[in-house]
Structure 1
Amino acid sequence: MTLSSEQRITLHGFNNLTKTLSFNMYDVCFTKTKEERDAYIEYIDEQYNADRLTKILKNVSDIIGAHVLNIAQQDYVPQGSSVTILVSEGPVVEVPDESSYDESPGPLPDNVVFQLDKSHITVHTYPEFHPTEGISTFRADIDVSTCGEISPLKALNYLIHSFDTDIMTMDYRVRGFTRNIEGDKLFIDHEINSIQNYIPDEVKELYDMIDVNIYPENIFHTKCKLKNFDLNNYLFGFTKDELKPGEEKEITAKLKKEMDEIFYGKNMN
C-alpha cells in the first residue's frame, strides 16, 4: 500500500512500523606470504577505520533526514572497527511525497528531503584470512533501522558507492504495525517488489543477482556477485605477471571458490 501525497492515509498516532535495511559487503584478496597478508589486513583497517566509517554513516543520516544524537566508535585490536549512531527526526525540508516511496535508487548525500523519527545506524567490520590457502577476506555489515514513514532503502545507492565490493547481500524487512483512524492494522505502508529496484541499472549490469522475497512476511533479500573476474584485482602486492607457471590457474580457482561459497552460503568441496 502506497501513501501518495494525494491519498495519504490518516493514522491513529505515530507510524510504528520499523523498517530495517541490512547491507553486507565482501572484499576477497589473495596474498602469497604472511607479510603480504598482514599488509592487506593493515590496509583494510586503515581504509575502513572507525573515523571513515563514521563519515559514511553520517552521510547515510543526511540522506534519510536524521539528526545525530550520539556516536560510539571503536577500532579493535588486532583488527576490525565498529560504529553505532543513534538518531532522531532531523530538519524537515518537506513532508515525504510520493517519490519517497518509489522503487528507484536513492540519492547521494547532497541535501535533506525526508522525515525520520527514532532510529539507529550501525556498522561492524570483519577482516579475516584462511589459515593455509592464502585467501584473505574483508566483510562490513551495516544496519539502517528507521521508524516512521520513510524507508532506509533510499540510502542503499550511497552505501553501494561507498565500498569497493566483490559480493553484496542485502536484506530489508518491515516489522510491527501501525493503525489507521478506524483502528485497522497496516503492516506495510509502501509498495516494494524487489530490493533490486533500488539499485542503479549501471550497477546491476556489473553483478549476477539472486532474489529471495517473502511477500506475506514483508521480507526481501537480494545478493550480488561481480560478473567479470580480473585476477590482478585480487592480488595484493604483486601482479599475475610475477606468478610461476600453473600458479595463475590455481590461484584463480581458489578465489572463485571463495567467492562462490560466500555468494551461495555453503562450502563447496
Structure 2
Amino acid sequence: MHKLKLHGFNNLTKSLSFCIYNICYAKTKDNRENYINHIDEQYNADRLSEILTETCSIIGASILNIAKQDYDPQGASVTILISEEEINPSPNSVVAHLDKSHICVHTYPESHPADGLCTFRADIEVSTCGLISPLNALNYLIKQLKSDIVTIDYRVRGFTRDAEGIKHYIDHQINSIQNFISEDIKQCYNMMDVNVYQENIFHTKMMLKDLDLEHHLFDTKPEQFNHEEKEDVICKLHDEIKEIYYGRNLSKI
C-alpha cells in the first residue's frame, strides 16, 4: 500500500474497543461462587498484564508503564501506556514525550441465583497514535478470552498533514472490521456490521454459532442432567447470549 509522506508526526488516533462476553451455567450456589473465584484467578491483574504485554508485541508498541489492580470482591483492571518508538530511558530520567497511546482492560464477572447463569465480561481498549495499528491485535484478543459474544468498535479521530500540507482523516483502507478478522474466527461466529463511513466509525457484533453444552457448564457435566434439564439449560444459555448480542431483554412469555 502506498505510504503517505507526512509533515511531522502522524497525529491520527486509532481506537479499538472490545466488549467480550463468556457465558456459562452453574447449577448450585457453590458452583456459582467457584465460578467467580475461577474467573478471578484465571483473569487476575497479573494474567491480564501478560495478555496486554503480548498485545503490545503484536502491534509493535513499546511499553512505558504498567498499572494494575485486583478488586474485592471481584474483577481486575490493567492499563499500559505505550509508545510507537522504542524508548530506553536511564533509571533516573522521566519520559517527557508520549505518543498518547494506551491499552487497558477491565473485567466484570457476575452471576445470578435465579437462573444459574454466570457472565464474564471484559472491556478492552487499544488506542494508538502514529503508524502502529490496534487492528493487528484483533484475532489474538478474541482467542485469548474465549468469547461467546464480541462487540467491537473502531474509530479513527483527528487528522494528520502530508508533506503538501493537505489534511488526511484516515491513513489506511477499511470498509469493515471484518477485513481484519481471520477466516477461522469468522467461521465460528454470526457477524453484523453497523458502520458510519463518513465519520470513520466502524462497529461489528459477533455471536458464537454453535453452543456446546459441555463447554458452557461449570463444575458439572451434561450427563448429570436429564433430558428436560438439558433442554432448559440450553434454552437459558441461548436466551442469555441473544439478549446480550441484541442489547434487549427477550419476552419470557
Structure-2-length-normalised TM-score: 0.91
Secondary structure of 2:165's counterpart equals coil
Q: Distance in 2 between matches of 1:218 and 1:131?
A: 42
Q: Aligned residue for 1:185?
A: 167
Matched ranges for 1:1-269 at <5 A: 4=2, 8-91=3-86, 117-269=99-251
Secondary structure of 1:172's counterpart equals strand
Q: Deviations over 1:201-253 (max 9, x none)?
A: 11111111111111101011111111111212111111121114521111111
Secondary structure of 1:237's counterpart equals coil
Task: Kindly state the Cα deviation for residue 40 of structure 1 after the two structures are TM-superposed.
Answer: 0.5
Q: Deviations over 1:86-113 (max 9, x none)?
A: 1113349xxxxxxxxxxxxxxxxxxxxx
Letter in 2 for 1:67: S
Task: Kindly state the Cα deviation for residue 118 of structure 1 after the two structures are TM-superposed.
Answer: 3.4
Tell which deviates more after alignment, 58-67 or 41-50: 58-67
Letter in 1 for 2:126: V
Structure 2 residue runs without a partner (length 5+): 88-97
Q: Distance in 1 between matches of 2:10 and 2:215?
A: 46
Q: Pairwise CA RMSD of aligned residues?
A: 1.6
Structure-1-length-normalised TM-score: 0.85
How many percent identity over aligned positions? 59
Q: Distance in 2 between matches of 1:222 and 1:252?
A: 25
Structure 1 stretches of 4+ with a deviation exceeding 4 A read none
Q: Provide closer, same or farther for how the CA distance between residues 57 and 253 of structure 1 changes in structure 2, counting only shifts above 3 A.
A: same
Q: Distance in 2 between matches of 1:245 and 1:173?
A: 46
Secondary structure of 2:37's counterpart equals helix
Letter in 1 for 2:14: K
Cα contact 1:81–1:124 (8 A) shared by 2: yes
Secondary structure of 2:236's counterpart equals helix
Secondary structure of 2:163's counterpart equals coil
Task: Kindly state the Cα deviation for residue 61 of structure 1 after the two structures are TM-superposed.
Answer: 0.9
Cα contact 1:89–1:118 (8 A) shared by 2: no
Q: How many residues align?
A: 241
Task: Kindly state the Cα deviation for residue 259 of structure 1 after the two structures are TM-superposed.
Answer: 0.1
Structure 1 residue runs without a partner (length 5+): 93-115
